[in-house]
Chains A and B, each alone.
Chain A
Amino acid sequence: NAGVMQNPRHLVRRRGQEARLRCSPMKGHSHVYWYRQLPEEGLKFMVYLQKENIIDESGMPKERFSAEFPKEGPSILRIQQVVRGDSAAYFCASSPGVVATNEKLFFGSGTQLSVL
């Protein structure tokens, strides 16, 4: 049973370009969460999605950032017109249902975005 798969592992973009980060949840998981981690800091919640629905995007910047989780295919975190401040590790997590004590989040290995 493959875990949460994220790709690419490393992504380098120049300022103004677009970054697309992909996340395939664990088999059977229909809930996806995206988190961002700056160096030496904890993870910060960005967005929570279910298939075809955004449930909570309270942690997403209002501009340039968007996320989707289509009926078929991986979840995509899209950052338009990247700036240096977007450089961070972006982690995806999935769960089989609403996260509670027994519904643990399983994290992928992350995508390290570097903006030149």
Chain B
Amino acid sequence: GESVGLHLPTLSVQEGDNSIINCAYSNSASDYFIWYKQESGKGPQFIIDIRSNMDKRQGQRVTVLLNKTVKHLSLQIAATQPGDSAVYFCARGFGNEKLTFGTGTRLTIIP
């Protein structure tokens, strides 16, 4: 069946360094992927998305890479800041109606 998972449950990064959060998916059907950020006590917040016919997409300080050959998705955050500390989820859209979320990676920024 469809699934989305993450390689590491936690990640600690020095402030100012770049962060890379990874995600793997198991189905070859092409749809779209989204990265969400969830801070404690809050709902997920959209960061960036990418369609399956793309390899890379950039936003402000963030880049998403999609490797369809190995079914791998990554989120790169440049020059991490304390405010980047949160749990990051990748999610996959199946059709246009609902998202399937991974289990999340907790990113901790070390001052």
B81 touches A (CB below 8 Å): no
Instruction: Decide: A42 near B103, CB < 8 A? Known: A101-B49, A106-B46, A110-B43.
Output: yes
Beta-carbon contact of A104 and B46 below 8 Å: yes
A16 touches B (CB below 8 Å): no
Bound form: Cα–Cα A40–B103 in Å? 7
Task: Point out the residues of chain B lying under 8 angstroms from A4, CB to CB.
Answer: 43
Beta-carbon contact of B98 and A100 below 8 Å: no
Beta-carbon contact of B43 and A109 below 8 Å: yes
Report the count of interface residues on B (CB-CB < 8 A).
Answer: 26
Bound form: Cα–Cα A109–B43 in Å? 4
A99 touches B (CB below 8 Å): yes
Task: Point out the residues of chain B lying under 8 angstroms from A98, CB to CB.
Answer: 96-97
Beta-carbon contact of B89 and A42 below 8 Å: yes
Task: Point out the residues of chain B lying under 8 angstroms from A25, CB to CB.
Answer: none
A116 touches B (CB below 8 Å): no
Bound form: Cα–Cα A44–B51 in Å? 21
A41 touches B (CB below 8 Å): yes
Contact among A41, A59, A101, A108 for B51, CB-based, below 8 A: A101
Top 8 A-B pairs, shortest CB-CB distance: A107-B43, A42-B101, A98-B96, A45-B98, A43-B101, A42-B103, A104-B46, A107-B44
Chain A interface (Cβ within 8 Å of chain B)?
A: 4, 33, 35, 40-45, 48, 55-56, 59, 91, 93, 98-101, 104-110
Chain B interface (Cβ within 8 Å of chain A)?
A: 4, 9, 32, 34, 36, 41-46, 49-51, 89, 91, 93, 96-104
